[in-house]
Structure 1
Amino acid sequence: MAVVPFPTPGADAPAGGQSVAAAVGRFLDQVQAATTRAGYTATLTRLTALASTRPTTELEPADYAAVMEQWNTAAAATWNRHLSALVSFTTWAQRQELLATNPARRLQRRKPARRGDRAIPRTRLETLFTDTEHALRERVLWRLLYETAARAEEILTLNIDDLDPEFRRARVISKAGAIEYVHWATATARLLPRLLKGRTAGPLFLADRRAPASGARAPAAADICPSTGRGRLSYPRAEYLFKQATAELDPHKKGWTLHQLRHSALQHLAADGRTAPELQAKSRHQHLASLGRYVRLGEETSARVTTEADPAARRKSH
């Protein structure tokens, strides 16, 4: 059995043990998948801001509740994603003997509301994609997400050297940490050179401003463009811009989420007759059962399949 050594408190450790900031840093360092690390960072940065220098052993349910307060009005999936980050940090900290209790014990996952169809109509997507009022960066990101049917975290963590323009594909790190490929179509291929503008290294999608060179908000070197000094575009910022841009197209006027682009792509492919194994190849879901929502196409599809398979109908056609 492997024995995890108890960390020796460093110079930055407060009197009660290792600080929250140091513990969060160690936790993020051991997360291998870049997409997972980026997602956890968005949550744990808020925890660090609230309790940076305090001992990790002193974290309480009230601290976690304060962190999650930012997402009280968010969708259930967003709430659950950030809660999962806190739970993962807690589990790790308990194994490291930095936490004796569970500060997340009073927080519960939320059940997503049932919605009949979360796919965005194709005509509205085309209106969105072709509207030149939107910035080039956003139009490339939205097209790329839809054409690849990839997860938003995977695309936002892409670097330029992950791209293979000749074969219209990009190398991504999946949720499980595996290296996989996603593929795009002609519309994205035409826009990508304009977005790159001669850049050959660094993040594919850049923030609007230069990244801070020092301090708590300074990103890792891999998240800074060597040519412009700008940092990587974050998921929260990309999501905000998408919701703002789609509010007028959304019948509910709330705007859509980046994840709905992935959902829409798969739903539209299923409506075009793609099989579940084909959808699995495109989406890279591990289990076919996860694709059930896409291949259930409703009563019209059921009627068409029944008619086409009817032996009597086939005899009449001859």
Structure 2
Amino acid sequence: MVAPPLSVPDAVRGYLDHLVVERGVADNTLRSYRRDLTRYTGYLARHDIHQLNGVTEAVVTDFLASLREGDGENPPLATSSAARTLVAVRGLHKFATLDGVTPTDVAREVHPPAPPRRLPKALPLDRVERLLEACGRDDPLGLRDRALLELLYSTGARISEAVGLDLDDVDLTGRAALLSGKGGKQRMVPVGRPAVAALDAYRVRARPGLAIRGRGTPALFLNARGGRLSRQSAWTVLRTAAERAKITEPVSPHTLRHSFATHLLEGGADVRVVQELLGHASVTTTQVYTLVTVDSLREVYTLAHPRARG
């Protein structure tokens, strides 16, 4: 049974009371909901909608559009803020339906805007080379760091996969490495000649001296105490190399992996081959890198083609 028509402000007050009394939401959350629903109430009033059962799905959809574009009374919101506001509106309408105030939940099929896709950050080739050269020290840790970064860029391995390698997982003669990825899935990947040379130098000239300080771990990459190198320490190696190379772009643990994939695709590699090398379960995950290369091509095209800017 549907209750008598209820004004929008009364419906909002009832919903906020429900959040406090029955849901026990925090004060900050309540203030956020009240602010978002005040904006919604104002929007409905400007469109001469004063009762909640006068709202349709099209009205909620138009309200969402106004959040992103602005409506004369309010500035546009970022995607995350618009999504948060819509959550409050959807909560209001769901509550009103369950409480018998409205016959149907008109906001149920109106979904929050998807956040913008963040493209992976890849370094240009010259900066990758500068990064690798920054590990040029000839001491044991310097040789280890160079081998680690060369391997990361040569194979596209995650840092966790690289530090998880044991000696037997790398075949320098066959120029291949066996990586253990997410879910325990293993994949064999090729290793380029510069990485093989760096790994050989590390294994012959540096690792034995580090190993005698530890307890005989089979790990390929060792720390100064002879134990397996941790992900955090590997990340420090990367960050230190970036500082030495004076690279101003943000450098994260995935930087060399992103650069590996982007440079392969720019060189003409098939996306499904790159998928296998990266260990992605779905090619859709890998295809985000094609957006990076398309952006690069578009930039070159815009600068070079006589009618690109028409």
The residue that corresponds to 2:247 in the other structure is: 250
User: How far is 1:291 from its partner?
Assistant: 1.2
Question: Structure 1, residues 25-68: CA drift from partner, whole Å, max 9, x if none?
Answer: xxxxxxxxxxxxxxxxxxxxxxxxxxxxxxxxxxxxxxxxxxxx
User: How far is 1:153 from its partner?
Assistant: 0.6
The residue that corresponds to 2:172 in the other structure is: 165
- Name structure 2 gaps, 5 residues minimum: 1-113, 209-215, 302-310
The residue that corresponds to 1:293 in the other structure is: 288
The residue that corresponds to 1:269 in the other structure is: 264
Distance 1:284-1:202 versus aligned 2 partners, 3 A rule: same
The residue that corresponds to 1:100 in the other structure is: none
User: How far is 1:275 from its partner?
Assistant: 1.9
Number of aligned pairs? 173
The residue that corresponds to 1:55 in the other structure is: none
The residue that corresponds to 1:196 in the other structure is: 203
In terms of fraction of residues, the more helix-rich structure is 2
**Counterpart-to-counterpart distance in 2, 1:116 and 1:170:** 28
**Counterpart-to-counterpart distance in 2, 1:183 and 1:170:** 6
The residue that corresponds to 2:25 in the other structure is: none
**Counterpart-to-counterpart distance in 2, 1:113 and 1:246:** 28
1:1-318 correspondence runs (5 A): 115=118, 118-131=121-134, 132-133=136-137, 135-197=142-204, 199=208, 202-209=218-225, 230-247=226-243, 249-252=246-249, 255-296=250-291, 297-298=293-294, 301=297
Q: Which amino acid aligns with 2:128?
A: L
Distance 1:265-1:161 versus aligned 2 partners, 3 A rule: same
- Name structure 1 gaps, 5 residues minimum: 1-110, 210-229, 306-318
2:164/2:219 contact within 8 Å kept: yes
**Counterpart-to-counterpart distance in 2, 1:169 and 1:285:** 19
**Counterpart-to-counterpart distance in 1, 2:185 and 2:147:** 25
1:275/1:295 contact within 8 Å kept: no
SS of residue paired to 2:196? helix
Tell me the TM-score normalised to structure 1 length: 0.49
**Counterpart-to-counterpart distance in 1, 2:161 and 2:115:** 23
Distance 1:201-1:194 versus aligned 2 partners, 3 A rule: farther
Which structure: larger Rg?
Answer: 2
Distance 1:281-1:117 versus aligned 2 partners, 3 A rule: closer
CA RMSD for the aligned pairs? 2.9
1:158/1:204 contact within 8 Å kept: yes
Percent of aligned pairs with the same amino acid = 29
Q: Which amino acid aligns with 1:282?
A: L
